[in-house]
Chain A
Amino acid sequence: MEFPATLFPSSFSTGPPRDEGGPAPAAGWGEYGQVLEAGRGHHQAETRFVPRHGRTGESWEPADVAAVPFLPPNATCWLPLLAPQDILYRSFLHRKLQASISGPAVDFTKQLSHFFVDHPEDAFGSLGCLLHKNFHLGDSGVKREARDNTIRMTALMEEINRLDARRGCPQKYLASRLRWFSHLSRDWLFEVPIGLLADCVHEELLLQWAGLLFDDGPTGGALAWLPAEDTGARTGRLVYPGGQAMNHLYFQDVVLKELPSARGSPAEFELNGRIRQVAAARTNGEDFVGVRSDYHCGIWRVPGRTGAAPTPLQVIRTSMPASCLTVSPHIPGELAVCTQSGSTYLWNIEKGLQRLRHDSQTMFFRDHSPWRWCDFTAHPRVLSCADRTGLQCLDARAPERCQLDLFKVGEEASCQQGERVVLPMYLGRAHPSQHLVTTQFSMYVVDERLPLVPVLKWLHMMKAPPLFAHLTPGDPGRSHKLLLGASRTQEMMLLQYQGGGQLACRLVGPPQKLHTITGCLEHFPTQLPHRHCLLQQRLGIPAAGLAAVLQKHGPRESLLVFQLSEAGDIFCQRLTHEVAQPLARTSGDKPTAAPGSSPLFEDPASSPQHLGSEEEKEEEEEDEQTSYLSNLEVMINEEEDGGRPAFLEEAELTQEPCASPQPSPVVLSEAVALRYRRWLKALSKRCGEPPWPSCPTTCGQKRLFTREELQTQAGPSILHQQARQRMHQAMREGGRIQCWDLLDSQSSAILKPPEPVEGPDSLSARLTAAWSGDWSQWWEERTSFYRTQRQRALRERRRRQKRARGRRSLSASFTSSLTYQSELSELSDTGLPPLSPTPPQEGFPPRGSPPPSPVPDEALLSSQSLRIRGIPKERRKTLRDYLGVWTESPLEPPELPSSQVSQLCIPSSQSQLSSASQTRRKRPRMGF
């Protein structure tokens, strides 16, 4: 073990950190740190210098534009994440409290009131039982004989009910009766004394809040890669948690190809709690996998050869949650465990547990966090113990006597104020005596042989503290690759460093950001808005671990990085070493639409290439149409998925044009696109549809008909088929359907912005006119228009009075973009083609009659046809009115007072429910 002959210069002082600051946005850039002469011979004229923070390193380029799903989505019953507004005061009280109290104002009264309402039995059960004879709640008076031990509570109840109504009233005050009652009953009414309960709830909420700010549970990460025994084999095993509560442990064999794929089904173990951390190390040719959940830690042995089954060895239970589990890289079956009570144990599967330290206080200065960490060092009997204030080495043979301060948050490492240790890691595979220490601001490399002075320090500029790290050691002369990963923001950073042996440790090359799971969103096929939102939430779940594999095939090297989310989804991405790459891309400044490195594109027969070149051509033309075209995304009925026409796949390959200033290569490789689609399909299948938590609850008019009532018995109609055919054709041609008029289909290709329905409101018409510059003309028209309009309005009113019935209001909903979805779902089920935002008058050709007429087919409205469809007599009239609305004058809707329109626009929740309970279909949708 060589030690560098000269180290980089640095000054050393002791004491608390002096450097005030905090997260500075660009602090990691632009510094060489220090320089050192590199290999100067005595007779050499030129002295060469190397910097501590080098600018040139190996270049690792991402092979794809985004991370790719590796496994199908985890079937998790996923709850939306806790948001700050769930537990904080949000009212005027909040402002008041904020002024007086520093720190979060936790809304525990809301939680308490929920508890009282939802679980009255638990809250007031026994007293309720005792008193229910003595409390009279009826309207009648209390009978004379019972009056001795019964009181009438009706007035009190009324008072309580009135409280609700008075909410929001500035002058609200509690009625004296209520105050009297609460004062009287406060001490005895509650099952659990209210003060105690409130304390506990408050405490819990504060904990939740702390967890929301920073959750150290997943520290270390719950993803591990076990390489195959012979390094040449392109296989390995991925260990990850999954299942509904993330309590299943999976060992999945993986074949590494261009894209990694799972082989066979994984070995599965069901555990007794949510898996927080998976740690693995290889000793004597066998992998040992440690698994940490809150109160249990377990160890598995996995033989090195592929296909051998993992065997569980031992489990320990802790009374306090464990915060750390690391596996010894030196001695088989040895682990280190820390609990939040401040205890550190060495755990050997043969010899059991040995407590090395128990100290509820932190090491170097006082910090409230109970988090502890422990890892191995170059000496198999010496462990490094960490808390938020620093690291200490202690010898397991004499833990009380042999201690050594390895890293201290303080002036020694020139830390900033408020800096805390987030994750220590033993870097033994790069150099036996190196350790990584990350804080929320910086990353340090510490050498055991030079304690307290970090041999490398770099401000990582990550938005969230790095909780995960992975080391890929480099061959001699090459750099070690260090991946840092954050949980909440899913950030991943690739760093390279060298040295530790002969040469001093130094950073080589600029840091590099890797793709995140969230970044995949734009590469998924476009979704309906609520699904898009849900997908966004799903992809945005904090990360829970990372792992990486270095693959060497000939001169090419690639680094495969896996990222696990807290929902149990695993995504992967590949970085390739530039030098070895045959087609070296200039580092991404000008993204080309040309296909990337995927071998699929080399096949001349494959379509995306063609599509890509076409797109380029169109781009040259600078036709507005192109942007529409590349936006064209099609959602297809799921049942159709099997025999999906090829052009649809093509259509999905085009990506939306760069809306953000982020330049990303435009085309995904087909294999990748396929993975996205499969993943999405599996997601909607597995995770079920109805309990969309984010679905906005809407209310409105009651639905008129059920779907069955309007459905024809005879399958999809001719019209339906025609519409579908036309749409396919349009997509094949890359055009669009301007209106559903079948005759007109060939005429115009360019979609103008939807004309406002004639005179929806005068203001917008006027503004439009003013915009285009002929405002005066508008005024002329307007004055003449008013005359005719008044006449027409009079006529209209008379006609309406004649009819004087029916709810015509639905027509209004067509003018609303808010509601077209749900309306659409019902309408298209009737066999009518979907709406485009063009006026409904044009948009709806009647069923079964190819030459369209502006009036709905009489046949549809005839009472006979309605009877055939099984629509009850009393509803037929309404239906006729309902459908008749379409034929009415376009001037009609604007006459409704605007407030009424908006009220009526909202579709009924019932209708939504009904469409949701049907087999939900993705419908063709265009132009949005």
Chain B
Amino acid sequence: SSHEHKLNFGKSKEMCLNFIQDAMLQKQWNRAAEFLTFYAEALEKDFSRDYMGPSEIIWRIGTEILCHHSHSGMKEFNSFIEQMKTFGVKRYLKVCLEHSFHLLCNGLVDEAYQNLSLAESWRFGEHTAIRDKEIKLIQAYKGLLDYYSWSKQKNILLEHDEDEFEDLSVEQEMHSYFRKAAVNLKEIIKIPGVWDIFVKCYVDLLEFYGDDEEARQVLSEYAYNSKFPANPNAHVYFYQFLKRHGESKKSLISALKILHDLVPSHELMINFNTMLQKSKKRKNRRLGLQVIFAVLDYAGWKENVKAWSCLARQVKQIVISDKHPDWIEQEWDSRKDWWPAFHFSHYLAKKNWQENKSLSYEKALVAGIILGKDCKYFRYVSHQGCKAQAKKFRILKKFVNKHIPVHLRISG
């Protein structure tokens, strides 16, 4: 019967948990809280070797309820979490970290900092990989808060730059914040991961103290280390760093070229395209055309006037100069079977004309040159444009009619 008892106990525990979950999923926080008080009794008999024991469940559910419960404040929350911290050694760091997140989200930065410092000094329990990761993360967030304090001090100093009687203590304090932040931030960005915010802060610190070499190394490591995930931001940061420091066009182009290979639809590609178009090298101009064509492959850019005008300008340039129509031809080759339906359908002509005239102008120019004057898109837009007495569109029509041979070459 003791077995049966245990079985019943387990069953009612499970049922209670189901009720709690049900109430929470229907946002009935008061009800869930009532059930949770019953469920808490289950803790007494927690011999389970389950993946997630009742104490973790109580922590998770309790936190969630307290966040939504109408009668709970920060005081109740803190006291609940303090209790939870004592429940399990294994979860201590995680609970601490989540607690500081809660404090941070509620604007209690100082309390969060204290919390993180406490957690950092925790020395109990066995060392595991997860634990190491957690402690690194705790230190990193602490470093981040140090950085914010540093930047606050820095702003004070910058504001009072004129005043000569600036005491040294503020400056010293700032430097001590710098040291604390730098140590912790440096550690976390060695581990593979997405550490955008930490990297940005660390680089800011380094740049302020003039350690550009270290900053460059950190950024290039973050961008090009193959152990790290292919994070577009890493390349963006590197590019921005190069630009800030007035690096050569060549290195900028090569940084963006790598970003282009990774994320052809990135917004920096527009800048990249203009940069390449201005270039004197043929190779770069060619790449520019590739880049802008690739950008417009993506659904997200479909109605972007800027991108279309970039393409229109370059196509027009090529047609007028009559130098490299084969570039267009080659780009068009892999797109001819789907761009007409994707970009240049009759429906889209109507829609673009209604919604954005300048977009339809740019698109009509590209369509007219590449697909010829019989293309549905061009025909509709030029017809509507001429009807609306817009000079721009009459010129467009003339231009396309003049350059029919280009179209014939491309499509032929």
Contacts and interface: CB of A to CB of B under 8 A. Distances in A.
B101 A35 contact: yes
A485 B63 CA distance: 26
A contact face: mostly helix, strand, loop, or mixed: loop
Given A3-B233, A7-B196, A11-B192, A428 B27 contact: no
A21 B194 contact: no
Given A12-B229, A379-B299, A25 B98 contact: no
B109 A47 contact: yes
Interface residues of A, number: 74
Given A26-B57, A29-B61, A432-B299, A450 B232 contact: yes
B338 to A, nearest CB: 6
Nearest to B197: A6
A579 interface: no
A493 B198 CA distance: 35
A768 interface: no
Nearest to A455: B194
B96 to A, nearest CB: 12
Contacts of A662: 22
Contacts of A330: 299, 342
Contacts of B6: none
B111 to A, nearest CB: 13
Contact of B27 (A34, A42, A510, A661): A510
A21 B56 CA distance: 14
B243 interface: no
Interface in A1-27: 1-13, 20-22, 24-27
Contact of B102 (A22, A32, A379): A32
Nearest to B140: A9
Give the most central of B27, B56, B152, B347: most A CB within 10 Å. Answer: B27
Contacts of B194: 7-10, 12, 450, 453
Nearest to B351: A285
B41 interface: no
B284 interface: no
Given A9-B195, A30-B62, A450 B231 contact: yes
Contacts of B228: 12
A744 interface: no
Contact of B105 (A49, A450, A510): A49
Interface stretch (B169-177, B260-268, B392-400, B401-409): B260-268
B148 interface: yes
Interface string B126-147: 0000000100010011000000
Contacts of A51: 101, 105
A1 B267 contact: yes
Contacts, number: 199
A202 to B, nearest CB: 34
Interface string B147-186: 0100110010000000000000000000000000000000
Given A12-B194, A331-B338, A32 B105 contact: yes
B297 interface: yes
Contacts of A27: 52, 60
Contacts of A905: none
A833 to B, nearest CB: 43
Interface in A320-334: 329-332
B351 to A, nearest CB: 8
Interface string B371-410: 0000000000000000000000000000000000000000
Given A24-B51, A25-B52, A588 B27 contact: yes
Contacts of B107: 46, 48
A662 B191 CA distance: 48
Nearest to A428: B299
B229 A26 contact: no
Interface in A410-433: 412, 428, 431-433
Contacts of A870: none
A587 B28 contact: yes
A32 B98 CA distance: 6
A347 B409 CA distance: 30
A50 interface: yes
Contact of B300 (A284, A433, A513): A433
A24 B59 contact: no
Contact of A10 (B67, B193, B298): B193
Contacts of B191: 11
A36 interface: yes
B64 A25 contact: no
A20 B20 CA distance: 25
B272 interface: no
A850 interface: no
A29 B26 CA distance: 14
A59 to B, nearest CB: 8
B60 A26 contact: yes
Interface in B183-211: 188, 191-198, 200
B224 interface: no
Contacts of A284: 341, 345, 347-348
Contact of A3 (B29, B68, B230, B267): B267
Nearest to B133: A11
Contacts of A331: 338, 341-342
B297 A9 contact: no
A9 B299 contact: no
A45 B153 CA distance: 10
Nearest to A8: B194
B120 to A, nearest CB: 17
A873 interface: no
A9 B198 contact: yes
Nearest to B14: A25
B57 A50 contact: no
Contacts of A9: 137, 140, 188, 193-198
A8 B231 CA distance: 12
Contacts of B193: 9-12
A810 interface: no
A414 to B, nearest CB: 10
A589 interface: yes
A6 B196 contact: yes
Interface in A448-499: 449-453, 461, 493
Interface string B1-28: 0000000000000000101111011111
A518 B82 CA distance: 41
B92 interface: no
A26 B52 contact: yes
Contacts of B67: 55
Contacts of B64: 29-30, 55, 510
Give the most central of A8, A331, A397: most B CB within 10 Å. Answer: A331
Contacts of B21: 25-26, 461
A432 B300 contact: yes
A20 B51 contact: yes
A665 B345 CA distance: 52
A899 to B, nearest CB: 31
Contacts of A48: 107
23 contacts: A1-B266, A1-B301, A2-B267, A4-B233, A9-B140, A11-B133, A20-B51, A24-B52, A30-B59, A30-B64, A31-B60, A32-B105, A42-B155, A285-B347, A330-B299, A379-B265, A379-B297, A379-B299, A510-B25, A588-B27, A589-B29, A589-B31, A661-B19
Interface of A: 1-13, 20-22, 24-27, 29-37, 42-43, 45-51, 55, 59, 284-285, 329-332, 351, 378-381, 397, 412, 428, 431-433, 449-453, 461, 493, 510-513, 587-589, 661-663
Given A43-B155, A55-B64, A433-B298, 7 more contacts: A12-B192, A30-B61, A48-B107, A49-B101, A379-B265, A380-B299, A432-B298
Interface of B: 17, 19-22, 24-31, 50-52, 56-57, 59-64, 67-68, 98, 101-102, 104-105, 107, 109, 133, 137, 140-141, 148, 151-152, 155, 188, 191-198, 200, 227-233, 236, 262-263, 265-267, 297-301, 334, 337-338, 341-342, 345, 347-348, 351
Report the 10 A-B pairs with minimum CB-CB distance, sorted nearest first.
A30-B60, A30-B63, A513-B25, A1-B300, A432-B300, A11-B193, A32-B101, A24-B52, A284-B347, A29-B64
